[in-house]
Amino acid sequence: MRHFILIASLLLATLAQAKSPEERLARLFDSLRTCEIDSVKDELNLEIYNVLGEKLKDPASFKESFDQLPNLGKVYSDDKKIRIYTWSFPYADRCYGYGGFIQTTLKDKVVTTPLLISNEAYKPNQQGKIAANNWYGSLYYNIFLVKNKREKYYIALGWSGHNAASDFKIMETINIDGCGNASFGKMVFNKKGKNDSRIILEYSSEAKIALNYDAASKRIIFDHLSPIEPGYQDLRVYYGPDFTYDAYKLNKGIWYLEENIDARNSR
C-alpha cells in the first residue's frame, strides 16, 4: 500500500508542475491511459475532476474546443444549450471507471454539474430517476432536444463498457431544472404499452452495435439484438446484432417502439 501511495504522490507532484490547466489535464489523461495500478488510476481520476471542475467554472469554457484533450469526450446538444464532457478508463478486471460533467447555459450564466459515481459504475434500471451524484458511467456521443408543447427534455445516446463480458448502449433522458441543474430519467419510452425512463441495449463485448438518431424521421434507430444460439436466450453476454433494425419514433413527446424497420436510408 505504501508503494502505491508513493507512486501516486510522485506522479501527481510531477503533474502539478504543468504550466496551465489544459497542459495539466493532458498529462493527467495520458497518465490515466498508461497507468497499470487501479488505486493510482482512481487518484488520477479524482485529480481530473478537480482540475477540469475548476476550469469549467469559467463561462468561456463552454465554447472552448479542448482539442488538446483527445481522451476527453465533448458533445453539444443540437440546440447548443448544453454540453457534456465524459471520459473512461479500464481497470485490471476489464471493468471501467468513468468521469463526467454537464454544462448548461442560462440567460446570464453557465451552470456545471459534476457526474459522480458513488461507488462503482453500474448498469442502471430502465425505470426511475437518477441523480447526477449517483451516475452509472457512460460515454455520451449524441444529445438532442425534444419539445412537446411547453415541456422539453433532452435525450443522450451513449456507450458503456459494463464488464469483461458485456457492454451496453443507452438512450437516456436528461432533465434540466430552472437553475440549470441536470438529472436523468423521464418516462417517455413506450414498448408495447410499458413505459420506461431509459433504454438499455446490453450485448456481448465482442460485438459492435449501431444506435443513432435520425432527425429527419424523428426516430432513434438501433440494431435488433438476438442471442448467437437459441439456447442462450436472456443471457445478454451472448447477444449481438442480427442485421435487422428497430426504432423508437417520437409522437407527441413519447417515443414508441417500432420493430423490424427499413433503416437503409436512415443509418
Give 31-44 pLDDT, tens digit per residue: 999 999 999 999 99
CA dihedral angle for residue 15, residue 17, residue 19, residue 20, rounded to 10 degrees: 40
Each residue's pLDDT tens digit, 62-78: 999 999 999 999 999 99
Nearest to 169 by CA among 116, 207, 113: 207
Write out pLDDT tens, residues 216-235: 999 999 999 999 998 999 99
Q: 126, 198 in Cβ contact below 8 A?
A: yes
CA atoms within 13 A on the CB side of 32: 26
Alpha-carbon distances, residue 160 vs 78, 124, 136, 164, 215 (angstroms): 22, 11, 9, 12, 24
Residue 2 phi/psi, 5° resolution? -60, -35
Interatomic CA distance for residues 232 and 234, integer angstroms: 6
